[in-house]
Amino acid sequence: MSAAQNRRSGQTPREPRRDPMSFSPPPRTRFAPSPTGYLHIGGVRTALFSWLHARRHGGVFVLRIEDTDRERSTEASVNVILEGMRWLDLGWDEGPYFQTRRFDRYREILERLLEEGKAYRCYCSRERLETLRAGQMARKEKPRYDGLCRDRRDPPPEGAAHVVRFRNPADGVVMVDDLIRGRVAFQNRELDDLIIARADGTPTYNFTVVVDDHDMGITHVIRGDDHLNNTPRQINILRALEAQPPVYAHVPMILGPDGKRLSKRHGAVSVLQYRDEGYLPEALLNYLVRLGWSHGDQEVFSREEMIRLFDIREVNKAASIFNPDKLLWLNQHYLKTLEPAVVARHLAWHLQRLDLDPAAGPPLEEVVLAQRERAKTLQEMARNSAFLFREPEGYDEKAADKHLGEAQRPILTALRAALAELDPWTPEAVHATVGGVAEAAGLKLGKVAQPLRVALTGGTVSPPIDVTVYLLGRDRTLARIARALGAGPGAGRSGVTH
RNA sequence: GCUCCCAUCGUCUAGCGGUCCAGGACGUUGCCCUCUCACGGCAAAAACCGGGGUUCGAGUCCCCGUGGGAGCGCCA
């Protein structure tokens, strides 16, 4: 009984069942992006599902670059794909294979199909095809090739260019047993004879994908469900090759916030942009695995848990909309729960992107501990921590007006004196000192902490004042208080000239 | 237009015929905590697309409708 049938009869086993009578070999899955744009979230999730399926069952994950469209494929796109996969740590076991390096093989198969009459040369001009299509559209018919060259007896037109078309069966039904969709039937009469080689002799997608998946021993084709309609054609080609079709699993699409297909215009940004904006690979992967798949009410999955728990058969059928807020929440979750040392390494990278020297401030792990509860991304954490690595540019205007006025002068002076003598320099000691100054002045802690915060950071937001002071260090703290005393509105009148 | 796919809170989802006046999470709102911002805690509002069946009983099965998505390239 196939998994699809199992699913239908409501008997999908929770745990993969090892059938003692048939030892299924470890699966081989692949991720096969085309380097014609960037690698976006949808592609990454497909890659993740393929990767998880392979890892889960001790199989092999293959990376293949589908670059047969030489017009649009670029090396830059290839690099973005590889870099993205590495950043996410979705390691591949084989490849990357490039289809452009396999042209000899495609040609070989092409010849064979031609010889066996399973494919034929088509001399129809693009113009004829266009008018044919236009006519069909006008008649509200499904545009398709009419098969003019299919049974052509007469000799081909002199010197005319030709493409090669696959001779699709005229009737019958093709069944696709999909791990996610169940059994889907397609009538052969709905399919036309697709082009498998262009006029310049280069092979096209539906042909190369079949040859490659077969040659590479792919057992499970996990891909976006925009390919479901291509599947019957591919199965027909496979049959012509007398090859066994792989198991298919068509995963639902990820839609943009407007419910439309993710595209350049709708938040389909490069995965590397998520890295640059300060997301952790752990967060992105966790977010993506929960899009279309779940394990009870569990929201957080470590990489190991994903591998252990993921089951391609449990993937939903409905498309889902990308939700940036939840990604943000997960990102902060990981900022808060990952080893500070791990987060610190990422933080260093982001500090550098802001032109800050990670070595010019307190230990990064301490910065992480102090900041992770008030930052949703690493980029935000880096920005919020800039004051620890270089002098603030100036003071936030409203903050200075409110907290660095004449009234705060005695407080800052007292803080400077007390902190100058402080020993040891610990958050606890700082806390006691600031509290002491407040008490002596008969003020609430906030009345003392806020002026100090503005003096030290230039703004009104930072970690708790004791931690902020502690991290900044004595020298910088004293210097910035002095600077604030000199820069305050009262500076001109009372003067710091003496 | 034709073919295929899909349909539970705004969003991601749990639910695999009775335990559902539908559960969790993000987001939203209110309260608490509080030196700022946050974090955290508590609480609340919020959904089974519609109509027919099947059944003692339907969110769960079937059909139709509606809505959404995909494909229909010498793109992948």
Q: How far is CA A138 from CA A125, A127, A131, A257, A311, in A?
A: 20, 16, 10, 34, 45
- Look at residue A9 in the predicted model and tell me its pLDDT: 34
- CA nearest to nucleotide B70 C1': residue: A226
- Look at residue A19 in the predicted model and tell me its pLDDT: 45
Distance in angstroms (rounded) separating the CA atoms of residues A50 and A46: 6
- Look at residue A47 in the predicted model and tell me its pLDDT: 97
As a dihedral over the C-alpha atoms of residue A92, residue A177, residue A290, residue A16, rounded to 10 degrees, the angle is: -80
- Whether the beta carbon of A445 falls within 7 A of nucleic chain B: the reply is yes
Q: Is A98 strand, coil or helix?
A: strand
What is the tally of helices (H) and strands (E) in chain A?
Answer: 21, 12
- Whether the beta carbon of A311 falls within 7 A of nucleic chain B: the reply is no
Write down which residues 313-352 in A have CB closer than 7 A to strand B: 314, 316-321, 323, 325-326, 328-329, 332, 336
- Look at residue A2 in the predicted model and tell me its pLDDT: 38
Q: Please name the nucleotide lying closest to A178, CA to C1'.
A: B5
pLDDT tens for chain A, residues 1 to 498:
333 333 333 333 333 444 445 567 899 999 999 998 889 999 999 999 999 999 999 999 999 999 988 888 899 999 999 999 999 999 999 989 999 999 999 999 999 999 999 999 999 999 999 999 999 999 988 999 999 999 888 877 777 899 999 999 999 999 999 999 999 999 999 999 999 999 999 999 999 999 999 999 999 999 999 999 999 999 999 999 999 999 999 999 998 877 777 665 555 688 999 999 999 999 999 999 999 999 999 999 999 999 999 999 999 999 999 999 999 999 999 999 999 999 999 999 999 999 999 999 999 999 999 999 999 999 999 999 999 999 998 888 888 888 888 888 899 999 999 999 988 999 999 999 999 999 998 989 999 999 999 999 999 999 999 999 999 999 999 999 999 888 644 443 333 333
Active site positions of A, annotated: 264
Q: Please name the nucleotide lying closest to A65, CA to C1'.
A: B76
- Look at residue A126 in the predicted model and tell me its pLDDT: 92
- The pTM assigned to this predicted structure is 0.90
- Whether the beta carbon of A69 falls within 7 A of nucleic chain B: the reply is yes
* CA pseudo-torsion sign A121, A122, A125, A127: negative
- Whether the beta carbon of A133 falls within 7 A of nucleic chain B: the reply is yes
Strand B nucleotides, any atom under 7 Å from protein beta carbons: they are 1-8, 10-17, 23-27, 34-39, 68-76
A30, A35, A34: which is closest to A47 by C-alpha? A30
Query: Measured in angstroms, what separates residue A325's CA from nucleotide B30's C1'?
Result: 21
Phi, then psi, of A263 in degrees rounded to 5: -145, 180
Q: Is A33 strand, coil or helix?
A: coil
Query: Measured in angstroms, what separates residue A51's CA from nucleotide B19's C1'?
Result: 38
- Look at residue A155 in the predicted model and tell me its pLDDT: 78
Write down which residues 181-240 in A have CB closer than 7 A to strand B: 181-182, 184-187, 190, 192, 195, 198-200, 204-206, 225-230
